[in-house]
Amino acid sequence: MGIKVAKFGGSSVADTIQLMKVRDIISSDPSRRYVVLSAPGKRYEQDTKMTDLLYLCHTHLVNHLPWDQLFQVVCDRFSAIAFTLGISQDILDLPKEYAKIREEMEKGAGADYIASRGEYLNSRLFAAYLGWDFIDAADVIRFDERGRFLAEPTNEVLSAELKKHKTAVIPGFYGADPSGKIVTFSRGGSDITGSIVARAAKAEVYENWTDVHGFLTTDPRIVKDPQPIKYISYQELRELSYMGASVLHEDAIFPVREAGIPINIRNTNDPEHPGTIILEKTPEGSMGVITGIAGSKDFIVIAMHKYMMTSERGFMKRILSILDTYDISFEHMPTGIDTLSLVVDSSQVGNKLQDVVDDIKRSLEPDTIDVYEDIALIATVGQGMTYRPGVAAKLFTALADKGINIRMIDQGSSEINIIIGVANKDFEEAIRAIYNAFI
């Protein structure tokens, strides 16, 4: 039987009721042998995530403010979970664990150590509850002395360690450097740990359990009850995430993608739902014309025209060097005959816009240069669009029917993505129009 690695995010482990759901999910399938947990997340809207509380403890610590009461909130929350799950002190000595953390804090522990204790305590608790082994991520997830993750050494150590355990709970989010100092991934990093464990276990699937039914075809704040996505390829996911759709930490893709392991996003609150499967290539016949629509607002388009631009040597190079001077990266650069547009994120440009435009005028002497602010970009993504005629026509007709003016068009060479620019004010309406035309 193959192995499944199941990672449960903060909302899936927020309290006792959630942890009991997690137990039921795990015990319903014996191939779920390795479990990776986040720290408890929010139990209700105004609640504070455990990790945020722990970072706050650290902020108090470094600013010489009293942190003890704050840390007590952390301890009380774990103790309450242990109590309601029926884990007694002789199974897991929580007061001893708290004392050790307090001691480290008194010695001036770093932010990474303190923040990681949410995952650590939660996983210790849950391992005790299940009667499973606990593997400390500090012993198997390796970072170098500069805090960079070491993929291969980790894979070696972790694979060997997993072989020693039939079942185990492993905390997400952190590992350790060669001196044993705790290092965390960036926020949301338990997704990465899950992926690393799946690779090391040679799992048949990496299940990522969260509180949604996987990826939706578009933003539910814009389209009511959008259809869920059943299958999505890594490349489609990358394109949609880049444009703002997010469920999974971006860095969680690499370990499993390399190993050819699919990711299955599932909902802890609705375990029967199949969720979304992310894989290299979506199965034949499963795909619609488009897979998803995502976008974001607030871009700037700098459009220039210069007669015979295309035959002018070094034109592009000079533009790039101007952007470099102002430390601005561009999102897209659609070109036409004698025209070129630069699409940049307005938060990157800040108050440098006029200087950039002046430099372009001076250095490139375009015949015209126009700046359009308040532009939104919308990506329509789908493997099914490749080689299929009429997709662009359908998309543009849908927008034209709503009277939406398209300010820019860019289709990547892979043909799985058409990006359009519209005015910020048309953003939501344009997404709805595209959704209704294709889905």
Least CB distance to ligand ASP at residue 119 (A): 6
Nearer to ligand ASP, 192 or 419 (CB): 192
> One symbol per residue from 127 to 166: x for binding ligand ASP (CB under 6 A), - otherwise; what is it?
----------------------------------------
Give residue 428's Cα distance to chain centre. 23
- In the complex, minimum distance from the CB of residue 15 to ligand ASP, in angstroms, rounded to a whole number: 15
SS3 for 216?
strand
Indicate the helix (H) or strand (E) that contains 32. strand 32-37
Q: Which of 186, 41, 56, 45 is nearest to 122 (CA)?
A: 41
Binding mask 45-64 toward ligand ASP (x if CB under 6 A, else -) reads: ----x-x-------------
Site string for ligand ASP, 62-101 (x = CB under 6 A): ----------------------------------------
Cα 166 to Cα 133: distance, rounded to the nearest angstrom? 8
Residue 135's CB is within 10 A of a number of other CB atoms, namely 23
Strand positions, DSSP E, 101-244? 133-134, 168-171, 174-176, 182-184, 205-210, 231-233
Quote the least distance from Cβ 81 to ligand ASP, whole Å: 16
Q: Name the nearest CA neighbour of 232 among 244, 224, 240.
A: 240
Q: In whole angstroms, how close is the CB of 140 to ligand ASP at the nearest point?
A: 17
Tokens of 227: 């259809």
Q: Convert residues 162-201 into a mask of x (bound to ligand ASP by CB under 6 A) and - (unbound).
A: ----------xx-------------xxxxx----------
Question: Least Å distance between CB 194 and ligand ASP?
Answer: 9
246 binds ligand ASP (CB under 6 A): no
38 binds ligand ASP (CB under 6 A): yes
Residue carrying structure tokens 């709970």: 169
Nearer to ligand ASP, 22 or 385 (CB): 22
Q: How far is the CB of 384 from ligand ASP (least distance, A)?
A: 32
Assign residue 244 a region (left: φ > 0; alpha: ψ between -120 and 50; beta: otherwise): left
- List binders of ligand ASP among 359-398 (CB under 6 A): none
Three-class DSSP category at 13? helix
Number of shown-chain residues binding ligand ASP (CB under 6 A) = 14
What's the CA gap between 253 and 230, in Å, rounded?
Answer: 17
Query: Which CB atom, from 43 or from 394, has the smaller least distance to ligand ASP?
Result: 43
Using the minimum distance from each CB to ligand ASP, give the nearer residue, 118 or 175.
118
Q: In the bound complex, what is the minimum distance in angstroms from residue 319's beta carbon to ligand ASP? A: 38
Judged by CB under 6 A, does residue 123 bind ligand ASP? no
**Measuring CA to CA, how many Å separate 307 from each of 41, 97, 368, 369?**
58, 72, 10, 12
Per DSSP, helices labelled H in 346-416 are 346-349, 353-364, 391-401
Positions that interact with ligand ASP (CB under 6 A)? 9-10, 38-39, 49, 51, 118, 172-173, 187-191
